[in-house]
Structure 1
């Protein structure tokens, strides 16, 4: 017989999945939450370096627009211009530099 987890376990996993944690090099970095065109992002800033994390699901067709939305989120969160060519990653998480 299959064991059914207590109701608190799925709820805990859902809450855990909604959290954005920085990459180790961004531990201690300033954290900002930003919404751009209905999408939520968390930005971690350490001097002129940033990490941006997208929250929520994005289907294949939606993913094409995400990198540009991430750059807008970085600009809003930091007040600095993202150096677009420096950003690497995917539609879920990207890292790059900013110019202030």
Structure 2
């Protein structure tokens, strides 16, 4: 496969965000905060936040607090901590691409 079609497919996939199976049926909210695009999926008292786009390693440190802010801004609730149980994130702690939160409404 030549590099051009592969790059195009990669760009198209990078623009997509779909919820984890636990968040199917959740409401979707697109938001930009401090120049970073996020997609927030809200379901009951939980939120899944997906960061969109590419960031260099040096730019990623500011993302986890922004993920909390967008979850709170979109939901109108306070983030009580990471989502647990069935909604727990499979990502490693500190992942800047995806996070799941328990909300206190």
5+ unaligned residues in a row in structure 1: which ranges?
Answer: none
5+ unaligned residues in a row in structure 2: which ranges?
Answer: 84-88
Query: C-alpha displacement at 1:17, in angstroms?
Result: 2.1
Structure-2 residue corresponding to 1:25: 22
- Once the two structures are superposed, the pairs formed by residues 1-100 of structure 1 within 5 Å of their partners are 4=2, 10-83=7-80, 85-86=81-82, 89=91, 90-100=95-105
**Alignment partners' CA distance in 1, 2:17 and 2:42:** 14
Distance 1:64 1:10, change over 3 A: closer
Distance 1:64 1:13, change over 3 A: closer
Distance 1:41 1:11, change over 3 A: same
Query: C-alpha displacement at 1:10, in angstroms?
Result: 5.0
> CA contact under 8 A between 2:78 and 2:103: conserved in structure 1?
yes
User: Normalized against structure 1, the TM-score is what?
Assistant: 0.82
Bigger Rg, which one: 1
* Aligned residue-pair number: 96
**Alignment partners' CA distance in 1, 2:2 and 2:99:** 37
